[in-house]
Amino acid sequence: MHSGGRVRSMLDDAEWERLSTLYNGWINDVADVLQGLATAAQDAERSVEGPPIARAVVADLRTRIEAPIGELTDRTNTLTVEMAKFQA
């Protein structure tokens, strides 16, 4: 078993590898979702050609998308910091 933090020492190599694989998969999935949401919001905003109400609806959509993007980013950053502690 590799040297590491308290949690790391409680896991065998296979368990640690599984946890690391799940974590890395989560990070990649979150990045893909965030990029997709940001792209969708930008595309919607650029595509609006019509009455002011349509632009307002798209602007509202973008605002509503940005909130979960921020939350996912914050939570993922927290998870990354906590995971790093286990590797120390």
Residue 41: count of CB within 10 angstroms of its CB? 19
- Per residue in 3-20, pLDDT tens? 445 555 677 888 888 888
In a domain, 12, yes or no: yes
Count up the domains in the chain and report the number: 1
User: How does DSSP assign 60-85, residue by residue?
Assistant: HHHHHHHHHHHHHHHHHHHHHHHHHH
Instruction: Decide if 35 is inside a domain.
Output: yes
Q: Average pLDDT of 20-35?
A: 86
Within a domain: residue 27?
A: yes
3 state DSSP class of 87: helix
- Which of 13, 10, 5, 73 has its CA nearest to residue 38? 73
Does residue 68 sit within a domain? yes
- In the chain, what is the straight-line distance between the N-terminal and C-terminal CA atoms, in Å? 14
The pLDDT of residue 28 = 87
Give the pLDDT band (50/70/90) at residue 84: confident
- Condensed to tens digits (0 to 9), the pLDDT of residues 39-71 reads 887 777 777 766 777 778 778 887 888 888 888
Identify whether 23 is part of a domain. Answer: yes
Q: Is residue 79 part of a domain?
A: yes
What residue numbers bound the domain in which 50 lies? Answer: 6-87
Residue 13 domain-assigned?
Answer: yes
pTM check: above 0.75: no
